[in-house]
Structure 1
Amino acid sequence: MEKYCINSWAQIVEILNSNVKTGISENNCEAIRLKYGTNKIDLPSGNGFYKHAINVLKQRSIMIYIVITIALFVFKFYLFGGMSALMLISNIITIIMHTIKRDKEIGVLERLNSADTIVIRDGTQKIIKSEELVMGDLVRFNRDSVIQADLRIISAKDIKVDEKSITGENFYKEKFESKVIGSISSLSDMKNILFKGSVIKSGDGLGIVIATGNFTQLGRILAMLTYASNRKHNFGIMLSKFLEKYLLIYFLAIVIIGSYFVYSGQDSQRNYIFTALFILSCSPIAIIANIIFKSVVKIFFKENIEIINFSVFNLIKDVNILFLDKVGAISKKEMIVKKIFINNNVIATSDPYLKEITFDRIVEISLICNNAIYNSNEDNAKGELDELAFINYGAKKKIYKATIDKTNSRTLEIPMDSDKRFLTVVSKLNRRYRANTRGNVDDVVEQCKYIMLEGVERELTDEYKAIIKDTDMNLSIEGLITEGFAYRNFSYEPSRDENIESNMVFVGIIGLENPLEENLENSINRIKDKAIVPILFTEESKLSAITNAKRANIIRNDNQVVAGIELDSLNHQELRDLLCRVRVFCRVNPEIKSKIVSLFIKDGHKVATTGENLGDLPALNLSNVGIGKGKASVMVKRLCDVYIQENYLDGFFKIRDFSRRFEKNIDRVFKIYFMTILSELLVLLGCLIMGQTESLDFWNILVINGILFIPLSLIILLKGGRDISNNEVITRASILSIITMISIYKVDGKEATLIPLVIISMGILIYTLFNSNVSIRRSSKELVMGIVSFLIIIIGIVGVILINNVLPRDIVVIELGTSLIFFIIFEILARKWQNSLMR
């Protein structure tokens, strides 16, 4: 890309075999497209159903379920096979649909591939679809045009461009056609390049296409997003590993035992073998996961936290580097005017208002150069924090923006850009015009020839300049954010072509405070207590950043703060060495920010990063956890891992704390689930030994494994509980199976099918409620799920009675009741014993 900047546009046209008058020939377009590629950005929405299906079928757990299902059909267990197939298909479809939905979040960018563009081909101006653009095409653009490929400017007339989607910078940038003199260190230095996705805000011109599709800067960003998306979405893989760990052991055990019976000629026992296989395959794991996904997302949404990537719960627990933006993390989302420097004096804003020309002028300029909007009906304002602070301060002094706007009508606005860190608004007052300027103090002073002192314009001498710079430094040392103000009067209406921002009159400096959070000490200690290193990005000056970072207890030494301009000249190794000590970066552009993040990741750190705009996307997606915040655009929200509108530091810890509990709860779910399966398999083995043919049948297994475990899983996953050891799984399963077999002993016929349904299901329900500490004394979601589970068991019992046309005898009812009482007493005693051990 650099070669297109440092050479003249004429040389670029020649290199690309184009012509500045006629463009390229329509006949050559296809050959150029084959050589350099199309202008279409590849997006994951094109992966399709089949690719996702293949990825799902590669999972070992799915392979095991497929083998079981096929075996059930081959050996003519059609009822078992049909239900297994239904469960398998529902699980596969659930996983695929979730993955497709995830990819569609990135697929919304597809509109970038389709738009109309004005080109010159064969000397004729025509409109084509943007995806038809090729290298060397001449493209015309004007105000509000969205640039559809990377262009080298050939001609430019007053061009200002919004490149926020590429560079992340909030101000408009001036562009020109001349070659860039000097080195190119960042995208911001490419002032003769228009990037795909940027918007022309003023002016018009002509450019030549120098990069298309995936090779544009935007294409590279989106390619990075696709890679990060595939890398980060690992929650399903984690669940699959949990499942495979137990499933494979049980499957192999059944196959080995079944092979023994077949080898020994006991084919009559194969009903037990395939019932055991059906117990394994009757598993609604993906359905449970989908329900849990929606439940957890809903819980966090109520706290203004949007979970975009559910894998964030798996990623966030290992984070040890947390990149923070100052505002919203250690400081409040507000600014307050604290001090004003006018007439060579610093006055506190709490001083009483005395009508004075210089004071009135600086407040007027702060309100004229102000795009915040005040709503008198709702008594609130929307805009940048500094602009809101100026409005609030003016109102306190009875100087209102609405009044100032009525008497000072805007005629022209010259926005801030990367070279000029100040903005200017030309206003008309009666028959005269005034250019009003505010911005970086040093930059504003450089445009001034005079200074206003007590309402009188005097020459701005070197002595006055020294006083201004010393005052600016002192205010910064106090931790204030400073802005300079100036003006210039005109007896006529100036035009944009004039050098309006020169020979100005310096008025003064306003120092703004961005208050630190009240509970900041606790928040920082909380970060450090979790063995996480906080690293701060801030837009304030280096002096102000040092003061505030020390107050926040983030740094101890001044050399732990570095400004973005200091990083531009460092090579890769120097930058890497610097990162070992730096804890605060001020005024860093998105390109450097992503480089910093990538270096930490290469060193093996687990990183979480915050951001609001597309310029932050490389850093957000390179990091292990990308956190969208504040006024993040819809695109950023969809492509980061989580979006937290306010108090994102608190939100980070809420997610992190939940993730630790959630992982333990997932482990508990699988252990209780396989405890259930193990107890069923032991009952089946016991019945085989006793010669009991009527015990666990299709309906028992369907109710317990396929239906009951859905609400039970919700209880376990959403409610914290005691850890379960593997020994406890075996012990509880053994107790359940022994009591079930004792109750089945000497019970003949279909009556026996009621016993495992009641004992195993109620035993697991009682154990789940006790393990999850669910109280029956107060209403909760977990208690509701417990009641739902109980109703499922009752409905299942009634269903089995009706299907098998059997009514249990009194002795069977007594046995079942005694068993349930035993389970309750056993759990109470076990809980007391465990509590005593913990003491």
Structure 2
Amino acid sequence: MEKYCNNSWTQIVELLNSNVQSGISQNDYETLTMKYGTNKIDLPSGNKLYKHILNSLRQRSVIIYIIIPIILFMFGQFLLGGMAVAMTISNLVLTIRHSIKRDKEIGALERLNSADTIVIRDGIQKVVKSEELVMGDIVKFGKDSVIPADIRIISAEDIKVDEKSITGEAFYKEKFESKIVGIISSLTDMKNILFKGSVIKSGRGVGIVIATGNSTQLGRMLAMLTYASNRKHNFGAMIAKFLEKYLITYFSGIIIVGSYFVYIGQDAEKNYISTALFALGCFPVTIIARLIYKRVIKKFLDDNIEIINFSVFNLIRDVNILFLDKVGAISKKEMVVKKLFFNDTIISTDDPYTKEITFDRIVEISLLCNNAIYNVGGNAGNGELDELAFLNYAAKKKIYKAAIDGKNSKILEIPMDSDKRFSTVVSKFSKRYRANTRGNVDAVLETCTHIMLEGVEKELTDEYKTKIKEIDMNLSIEGLITQGFAYRNFTYEPSRSENIESNMVFVGIMALENPLEENLEIIINRIKDKAIVPILFTEESKLSAITNAKKANIIRNDNQVVAGIELDSLNHQELKDLLCRVRVFCRVNPEIKSKIVSLFIKDGHKVATTGETLGDLPALNLSNVGIGKGKASSIVKKVADVYIQENYLDGFFKIRDFSRIFNKNIDRGFKIYFMTVFSELLVLVGSAIMGQTESLDFWNVIIINGLLFIPLSLVTLLNNGRNISNNELITRSLILSVITMISIYKVDGKEATIIPLIIISFGALLTTLFNSHVSIRRSSQELIMAIIALLLIVISAAGIILMNRIFLRDIILIELVVSIIFLIIFEILAIKWQNSLMR
């Protein structure tokens, strides 16, 4: 893409064999389509309803939930069958709705493929569908036009464009047709390119198509989003596996036992089988999942953590490689000017200020080449950390940017790029002009022919250059980040086209410190104690990176730090061998960063990566867990799995710790539910053997399985609790079913239906409370849910009693009270026994 920015539009038109006046020939259209492809973006197929339905129907749990109502209808149980169908449909609808919502934003881009576009072909202006565009097409656009492809501007009349969907920037960008001098470091620097999907807000112009379809910037981003979505959104699949594990076992058991009873029995046994199947199918799993989803999202939002992909709780548990940006992880998000080198002397920033021309010049350049905003009174600001440090230091010396800017009007700015590594601002003062430069010391030195010493410009000799480089190296060894400063005076106003950044006068060096966190040892040990290997990316020099990495106890040897320039010449195998020992990468470009991440993943590691800029998109996309941070744009957030604005390392561990608890809670929740279902099945089998016609009925199942487990699941899944083994599940089920069958023995009529409702419900409630460590001494959301569950049991039992006009005899009330007391004692003894084993 850079070649289209750095060359004039006439060269681009010639390169693509087009013509500004006549465009491409219609006869060449087919050839160009075959060569470059169409302009249609392949959107994810997931946004089609039937695809979502088919994907849901492939799950074995859904198949079982479909078979259950079919069998119920075959047995003539139309009410139970209808309720089972309603439950299955509600589960499917919520699942499909969630999937559709995930793809909706991408699917909305379908209009980009079919929008009308004004194009010139064979010298004739015509309107075509945007998907029919090919490279070399000459396109006209005006206000409110949606850009149909990536376009190099040929002519621009006051163009302002909204590129939020591409770059994430909220403000409108001005665009022009001139070529850009220098290396392009980001999309925002491409001011003569219009990206597919952006919108013209003012002005009009003409351009030539330079990329179409999936090759456009938008197409590549959508490919990342689709890949990440398909690969990472696996939480639903994990839940389905939990569910299937129990469903298949229970369903098979019901069919086998039920077939035997049908074979030897009468129609009454079919009623028991129908109730058993209904009990298995009456589980509002997606309703519970939806409620849990909202609660968990809110819980983390309260901690300023935005969960973008809920599957992060499944993905983050196995992470063993954590790629970190140094700033914000092991060092503070601030820089401080510590030392200065000028006039052949190194001074501390604590030294008193003495008015001197060389000192004034270096501070002046640091303020002119500076886009930060600093509030002296509030000791805070907005901008890059190094620029804020320069403003802060100058303010302490009573030198203020506003005063400097007032005397020096900015004429033009030449931004820093990855090649020259310094920036220049040309300013006008009095009737003269000056180019002010700051950046990498070595890079700035290469532009200089003179040096300022005590206000006098002298020739910069090779010996003095060597001395300056030694000073720079020593400051870097101290762990400081250095920047060089230079200037050049002009008697005329220089233009962008001439070589402004040459024959400059070197002024000096400012050395900044990026302070490490006070609790650094705790942070690093916390990472390593989790069996995670921390790997740093940093923008400081290699020498400074070595010093700081040793302070942080991340490395032991100097060869564990590698600079990006050292990696450029390595082949795939050499790079792979190097990664085994390296723990810090400094000054690495986005391409190398994503290659490093991919190599670790190919070796079987589970990787988490942090990112903030568009250049981080490939690494975030490839990693198992992508963490957006800081001022990440909307597109970065979409590719990431989680967004943590500040203290992202703390946020990472909060998510990781919660994920381990959450995973255990899901398993525990399913065990408590299927413990209850198993109890119900045993009661039904016992009732069939005893000839008890009235026991567990339709209303019992609806209340216990369909309603009660909604609040109980919220208690279980959100509160850290004790694991329940399979043996405990079976033991509790046996105890619940035996107590229930003893209580209903020789109880006739509807009176018998109250007993399993109360005993099994209280059994599930007590198991949930005791195993979820819910305290009744302090108010909590879990306690509120438990109270709601208790009220639900009481109200439901009272409703059934009134509806069926049941009068409970004293003996039944006594049995119920004794049963509940027994269950409470059992849970207390079970907890004590479990605690004794843990000791």
Q: 1:348 to 1:643 in 2, by over 3 A?
A: same
Counterpart in the other structure of 1:276: 276
CA 1:6/1:440 → structure 2, altered by over 3 Å: closer, same or farther?
closer
Q: 1:413 to 1:16 in 2, by over 3 A?
A: closer
Looking at structure 2, the residues matched to 437 and 198 of structure 1 have their Cα atoms a distance apart, in angstroms, of 36
Residue aligning to 1:415 = 415
Q: Tell me, in whole angstroms, the C-alpha distance in 2 between the residues paired with 1:491 and 1:570.
A: 47
* Residue in structure 2 matched with residue 73 of structure 1 by the alignment: 73
Task: Assess, with a 3 A threshold, how the Cα gap between structure 1 residues 30 and 793 changes in structure 2: closer, same or farther.
Answer: farther
SS in structure 2 at match of 1:500: coil
Instruction: Using the TM superposition, give the Cα deviation of residue 38 of structure 1 relative to its aligned residue in structure 2, in angstroms.
Output: 2.8
List aligned pairs for 1:220-619, cutoff 5 A: 220-264=220-264, 266-375=266-375, 380-619=380-619
Alignment gaps of 5+ in structure 1: none
CA distance in 2, matches of 1:762, 1:179: 76
**Which residue pairs with 1:779 in the alignment?**
779
Q: Which residue of 1 aligns with 2:57?
A: 57
Cα 1:372–1:664, aligned 2, differ >3 Å: closer, same or farther? Answer: same
* 1:416 alignment partner AA: M
Aligned positions of 1:690-701 closer than 5 A: 690-701=690-701
Decide whether the 8 Å contact of 1:545 with 1:586 is kept in 2.
Answer: yes
Deviation at 1:617, TM superposition (A): 1.5
RMSD, matched Cα: 3.8
Residue in 2 that maps onto 1:754: 754
- Are the counterparts in 1 of residues 156 and 175 from structure 2 also a CA contact under 8 Å? no
Task: Deviation per CA, 1:117-165: give whole Å up to 9, x if none.
Answer: 77543235678775442133245899999975456899999x9x99999
What's the secondary structure of 1:749's corresponding residue? coil
Name the residue aligned to 2:22: 22
Cα gap change, 1:198/1:483 in structure 2, threshold over 3 Å: closer, same or farther?
farther
Q: State how far apart, in whole Å, the 2-side matches of 1:645 and 1:225 are.
A: 21
Preserved contact between residue 225 and residue 638 of structure 2 (Cα < 8 Å): no
Q: 1:178 to 1:608 in 2, by over 3 A?
A: closer
Output the CA distance in 2 between the equivalents of 1:172 and 1:485. 30
* 1:212 lines up with 2:212 in the alignment: yes
Cα offsets for 1:709-736 (capped at 9, x unmatched) = 0111111111111111111111100100
Per-residue CA deviations over 1:160-198 (Å, capped at 9, x if unaligned) read x999999999x9999998999xxx99999x999969569
Q: Compared with structure 1, are the counterparts of its residues 145 and 582 closer, same or farther at alpha carbon in structure 2 (3 Å cutoff)? A: farther
CA deviation string 1:286-321 (max 9, x = no partner): 111111111111111111111111111111111111
Q: Report the counterpart of residue 708 of structure 1 in structure 2.
A: 708
Aligned-pair CA distance for 1:37: 3.6
Whole-angstrom distance in 2 between the partners of 1:510 and 1:813: 85
Counterpart code for 2:597: V
Does structure 2 conserve the Cα–Cα contact (< 8 Å) formed by 1:545 and 1:561?
yes
**Residue-by-residue CA offset, 1:735-756 (whole Å, 9 max, x unaligned):** 0011111111121111111100
Contact persistence 2:167–2:633 (CA under 8 A): no
Which residue is equivalent to 1:687?
Answer: 687
Secondary structure of 1:710's counterpart equals: helix
1:485 aligns to what SS in structure 2? strand
C-alpha distance in structure 1 between counterparts of 2:79 and 2:393, whole Å: 77
Cα offset, 1:211, TM superposition = 3.6
DSSP-derived class of the 1:134 partner: coil
Asked if the contact 2:168–2:635 (Cα under 8 Å) also holds between the matched residues in 1, the reply is no
Question: Match for residue 820 of structure 1?
Answer: 820
Deviates most, 353-362 or 145-154: 145-154
* Corresponding position: 1:633 with 2:607: no
- TM-superposed CA distance for 1:227, in Å, is 1.8
| Alpha-carbon spacing, 1:318–1:112, altered in 2? closer, same or farther (3 Å) | farther
Matched AA of 1:78:
F
Q: What amino acid sits opposite 1:499 in the alignment?
A: N
CA distance in 2, matches of 1:164, 1:571: 37
Alignment match, 2:38? 38
Cα distance change on mapping 1:117 and 1:516 into 2, 3 Å? farther
CA distance in 2, matches of 1:549, 1:73: 69
Once the two structures are overlaid, the 10-residue window that deviates more, 117-126 or 686-695, is 117-126
Relative to structure 1, is the Cα distance of residues 100 and 514 closer, same or farther in structure 2, using a 3 angstrom cutoff?
same
Residue 90 of structure 2 aligns to which amino acid in structure 1? S
Q: After superposing the two structures, state which structure 1 stretch, 827-836 or 94-103, moved more.
A: 827-836
1:428-467 Cα shifts (integer Å, max 9, x gaps): 2233322211111122222222211112222222232122
Counterpart code for 2:252: L
Task: Give the whole-Å Cα distance in 2 for the aligned partners of 1:383 and 1:761.
Answer: 59
Q: Secondary structure at the match of 2:610?
A: strand
Contact 1:166 1:614 in 2 (8 A): no
C-alpha separation in 2, matches of 1:768 and 1:414? 65
Distance 1:375 1:143, change over 3 A: farther
Aligned equivalent of 2:659: 659
CA distance in 2, matches of 1:398, 1:453: 23
SS of residue paired to 1:399? coil
Q: Which runs of 5+ in 2 are unaligned?
A: none
Contact 1:321/1:535 (8 A) holds in 2 = yes
Offset, 1:375? 4.9
Deviations 1:193-243 (A, max 9, x none): 96956999xx99987545411134552343233122111111111111111
How far 1:25 moved relative to its partner?
Answer: 2.9
Shift of 1:376: 6.7
Instruction: Please give the alpha-carbon distance, in whole angstroms, between the structure 2 residues aligned to 1:427 and 1:12.
Output: 33
Deviation at 1:543, TM superposition (A): 1.3
TM-score normalised to the size of structure 1? Answer: 0.91
**Bigger shift: 29-38 or 745-754?**
29-38
Q: TM (normalized to structure 2)?
A: 0.91
* Distance change >3 Å, CA 433–CA 142, structure 1 → 2: farther
CA contact under 8 A between 1:164 and 1:613: conserved in structure 2?
no
- CA 1:541 to 1:153, structure 2 compared with 1: closer, same or farther past 3 Å? farther
**Residue identity opposite 1:806 in structure 2:** I
Query: What's the secondary structure of 2:48's corresponding residue?
Result: helix
| Residues 233 and 794 of structure 1: CA distance in aligned 2, closer, same or farther (over 3 Å) | same
Deviation (angstroms), 1:281: 0.7
Q: Is the 8 A contact 1:23 1:121 kept in 2?
A: yes
Same amino acid, percent of matched pairs: 75
Write the distance in 2 (CA, Å) between the matches of 1:236 and 1:568.
41
Structure 2 counterpart of 1:368, which letter? Answer: L
Contact 2:2 2:184 in 1 (8 A): no
Indicate how the Cα distance of structure 1 residues 746 and 145 shifts in structure 2: closer, same or farther if over 3 A, else same: closer
Q: In 2, are the aligned partners of 1:165 and 1:613 still within 8 Å (CA)?
A: no
| Amino acid in structure 2 at the alignment position of 1:24 | I
Taking structure 1 as reference, are residues 85 and 630 closer, same or farther at Cα in structure 2, changes over 3 Å only?
Answer: same
The letter for the 1-side match of 2:591 is E
Change beyond 3 A, Cα 1:487–1:117: farther
Amino acid at match of 1:481: I
Answer whether contact 2:46 2:100 (CA < 8 A) is retained. no
